[in-house]
């Protein structure tokens, strides 16, 4: 990562973050191809298969439907954590300008698995509590709203508020995942730290995550419309392949982007991981003695090249 790219990250603009993320992916195509084929490829395939199979089970057997949902959730969680770990760590290696192989990156996963699992578990708890609270708050409102323009005028803002809250939680969750990979914190502590990092850059972060979430929603809607309930066999095959490729690429892009937001927020708060410390950290992983980054490994200072 050169000086110009770091300056773009420091600005933390929407286009700057996406531009640097694309440059990183295309500059390290071979490495990202290897790690995504073993992580994001099965994750994307599983996600789309879930939409198709769920539609089949929901129309026939509810017991099989919920059993499938449980198995899917477990595999989805494992593959999501694996993808997050390898992509975030790969970007960190690229930040240090250090050559790294797919095998070296994959060897990191068992050593950070516990922290990432704790963070994911707490994130799911927060999402569950938020959704349940929103459900019990919105249901009385929805029940009291009559049909017509007035009902839509009231329900619309409520749904917008709900979506804004959900995107905010998504930002904290994804940044907490990056924090758990690169720092010696996890769970609630990682979420609190990510909340502190995003302060002052919430609007930019919100715009980026909202855009990414909209892309994922459009892919799923398109897959359901043209593949799950589609008519023509060949159009279903073609649309299925396109949706898979889009989901595959956007998942990789999303993971790189959230790591770039992490570094950008660090720069914004004049707190950046020193390259020498991060490089030593990665060297320790290669030697087999994994030592997560500690708070002392950070230098709170104005960042200069």
Cβ–Cβ < 8 Å for 116, 181: yes
- Residue 252 near residue 40, CB atoms below 8 Å: yes
Given this model, what pLDDT does residue 116 score?
Answer: 92
Report pLDDT for 279. 58
Q: How many domains does the chain have?
A: 1
In a domain, 184, yes or no: yes
Instruction: Say what the pLDDT of residue 247 is.
Output: 95
Low-confidence ranges of the chain (pLDDT < 70): 1-12, 56-60, 142-152, 272-305
- pLDDT on residue 183: 85
Residue 155 near residue 140, CB atoms below 8 Å: no
What is residue 167's three-state secondary structure?
Answer: helix
Q: Does residue 102 fall inside a structural domain? A: yes
Within-domain flag for 75: yes
The Cα–Cα gap between 259 and 24 comes to 11
Q: How far apart are CA 67 and CA 108, in angstroms?
A: 32
Burial class (CB in 10 A: 0-12, 13-18, 19+), 205: buried
Assigned domain for 305 exists = no
- The answer to whether residue 174 is domain-embedded is yes
Kindly state whether residue 159 falls inside one of the protein's structural domains.
Answer: yes
Alpha carbon distance 43, 198 (integer Å): 28
Residue 183 is classified by DSSP as B
Residue 219 confidence (pLDDT): 94
Residue 75's CB is within 10 A of a number of other CB atoms, namely 14
Flag whether 79 is in a domain.
Answer: yes
The span from the CA of 224 to the CA of 76, in Å, is 19
Closest CA to 49 of 184, 212, 243: 243
- Rounded to whole angstroms, what are the CA distances from 287 to 2, 111, 230? 27, 13, 52
Compute φ and ψ for 233, nearest 5 degrees.
Answer: -65, -50
Residues 6+ apart with CB under 8 A from 242: none
Q: What is the pLDDT of residue 277?
A: 57
Long-range interactions of 102-108: CB distance < 8 A, separation 24+: 102/31, 102/34, 102/35, 102/38, 104/285, 104/286, 105/31, 105/35, 106/35, 106/38, 107/285, 108/285, 108/290
Q: Domain range spanning residue 60?
A: 3-300
Lookup: tokens for 148 = 């017509």
């992580």: which residue's tokens?
A: 39
pLDDT of res. 284: 58
Matching residue, tokens 């949902």: 69
């Amino acid at each position: 990562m050169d000086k110009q790219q770091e300056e773009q990250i420091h600005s933390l603009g929407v286009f700057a973050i996406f531009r640097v993320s694309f440059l990183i992916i295309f500059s390290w195509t071979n490495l990202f191809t290897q790690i995504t084929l073993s992580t994001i490829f099965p994750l994307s395939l599983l996600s789309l298969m879930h939409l198709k199979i769920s539609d089949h089970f929901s129309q026939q057997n509810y017991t099989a439907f919920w059993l499938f949902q449980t198995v899917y959730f477990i595999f989805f969680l494992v593959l999501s954590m694996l993808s997050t770990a390898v992509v975030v760590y790969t970007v960190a290696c690229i930040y240090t300008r250090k050559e790294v192989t797919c095998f070296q990156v994959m060897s990191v996963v068992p050593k950070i698995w516990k922290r990432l699992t704790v963070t994911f578990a707490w994130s799911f708890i927060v999402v569950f509590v938020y959704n349940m609270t929103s459900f019990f708050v919105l249901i009385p409102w929805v029940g009291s709203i009559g049909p017509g323009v007035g009902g839509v005028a009231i329900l619309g803002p409520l749904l917008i508020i709900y979506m804004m809250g959900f995107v905010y939680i998504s930002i904290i969750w994804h940044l907490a995942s990056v924090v758990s990979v690169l720092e010696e914190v996890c769970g609630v502590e990682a979420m609190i730290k990510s909340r502190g990092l995003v302060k002052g850059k919430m609007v930019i972060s919100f715009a980026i995550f909202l855009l990414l979430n909209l892309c994922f929603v459009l892919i799923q809607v398109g897959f359901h419309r043209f593949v799950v309930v589609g008519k023509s066999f060949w159009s279903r095959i073609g649309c299925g392949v396109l949706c898979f490729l889009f989901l595959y690429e956007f998942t990789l892009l999303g993971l790189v982007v959230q790591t770039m937001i992490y570094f950008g927020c660090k720069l914004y708060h004049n707190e950046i991981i020193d390259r020498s410390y991060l490089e030593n950290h990665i060297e320790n992983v290669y030697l087999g003695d994994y030592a997560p980054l500690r708070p002392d490994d950070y230098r709170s200072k104005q960042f200069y090249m």
